[in-house]
Structure 1
Amino acid sequence: MKKVRKAIIPAAGLGTRFLPATKALAKEMLPIVDKPTIQFIVEEARKSGIEDIVIVSGKSKRSIEDHFDSNPELEANLTAKHKDKMLKLVQETTDINLYFIRQSHPRGLGDAVLTAKAFIGNEPFVVMLGDDMMEDKVPLTKQLMDSYEETGASTLAVMKVPHEETAKYGVIDPSEEVKPGLFNVNSFVEKPDPADAPSDLAIIGRYLFTPEIFKALENTKPGKGNEVQLTDAIDLLNTTQRVFAREFKGDRHDVGNKFGWLQTNIEYGLRHPEVKDQLRSYIKMLGKQLTNEDSKK
């Protein structure tokens, strides 16, 4: 059984939920306090043991490439001013085996994954979506890799969501729990209406695939939104080889919408050594102001 060494990070979306900020700036470069969201994803991959990462990008995404590239002028400036901690932060972003492929047209997540077929070759690999930041003692990507070592099968991450929110996700129809947190799956449904959702277990942006997923993607017709849906290809793959679902019990931060992004900034800000004390004091002060305003109504 081949080792999982490679990861795909799709980053070709238009980021319309963050307009006008994303008119010229890649959504994946929006910061959580002082670090771009995509850097959290890359760091999770590296902590999980991934060796090579390909980012599937699109137009107006050059800022991602620039972020992970060296900046000799900046590094020389920081060196001259003896700002060693800042210099280390900058240099850490370049010490990565990172590659870029451009998706010429936004044809959906499934098409973005298929774009990286030549990079992956005949190997198992992971797909990591930038809208979901995951926290757990063992990185979620590593949890999927550990499951693969046991089963040799494609495995994706799921998490329980409120039933009324199932229309936002791909949802699984589980058949049996083969071991704690690991499910056999009857079918995978893309964004079902709550009345039709087979469960509350939603797919949450981390996948481990055998290379056979590419054949499934090539045979998947455009679905919802006239896009090639990855969930549809997974359901097709499940007809020829087992696809497992692993339930994630850690913390998930959805940074793909404004409110989730703001929430995550506050939560990370309350832990950030440079701003946590000021932010905590500010939140307390703001809470008192809002309480006073409410009492006057």
Structure 2
Amino acid sequence: MRSFNDIQTFIDVASCASISEAARQNAQTPAAVSAAIKRLEKDLGNVLFIRSTRSLRLSVAGEQFLSYAKDSLSLIQQGVAAVQTALGEVTGTLQVSAPCDLGRNKLSEWLNEFLAQYPNVKLKLHLSDEVSDIYSQSIDIALRFGVPKDSQLIAAPLFLNNARILVASAEYVAKNGLLTHPLNLTQHTTITFMRFGEVFKEWRFYKNGAVQKVQLNCQHIVNDGEMVRRWALEGKGIAYKSYLDVIDNLASGELVHLCPQWQSDPLPLYMMYADRRQMTPVITAFRAFIQHKITALVG
């Protein structure tokens, strides 16, 4: 199915507007990607890209062919998925994006089990606390915390009852006392997260219908969710973390849940994807597997 692979390569290059970036995302060499484009151009008898030393853009023929290429490849993938489903096969490439802390400390172990159960699946895992672009990056599904803002994406819920909670190490609590009210956070050392340079410094809490907002001058700021948890474990201060990220640390007593009588910001976990036609057997199996793991984790 070399021609279909070449079509996928063409779509990837068009999406990235770069041969080298498309090669990087697909673990190929730029020479291999360039050769695939040349084969396709030869088959079509048309130039698909206008190239210069600094830029690459679709030609008129390339723009015309792109929509047909996407539609035809989608139909082929649906056909393959239908055959595999009928045969009960789970095979193919799984391209997943996930937040750093969840990815390294939960998902990595779960994926090892998933791949052992389905040895014909190839995995590409993208870990980042930035919001991955499913449309432009080589990502099939993204695990994301929070209420979805992109209405064009399909959001399949994995854990709707997740929320942020205040946590600190037992050592920090012993040294600095137990936090009894969110307003007292200003008297403590706090740890927070930033994304795209924006610091998450307003923490909100809810009780009996009232909203309590606390503006903080956080002493420890980082753009990696795992580091927020690590600093909390090291006793550096109080963090406002996803319950899923700290559930094991709470069970072990390494972290203490502070102000549990106050509700906090909801932080549901979703599996995001662009099109229902993407629900191949491997993605369907992955969703069911992860759902089972999360259900078992939270009880």
The structure number with the bigger radius of gyration is 2
* Structure with higher helix content: 2
TM over 0.5: no
Q: TM-score when scaled to structure 1?
A: 0.24
Q: TM-score when scaled to structure 2?
A: 0.24
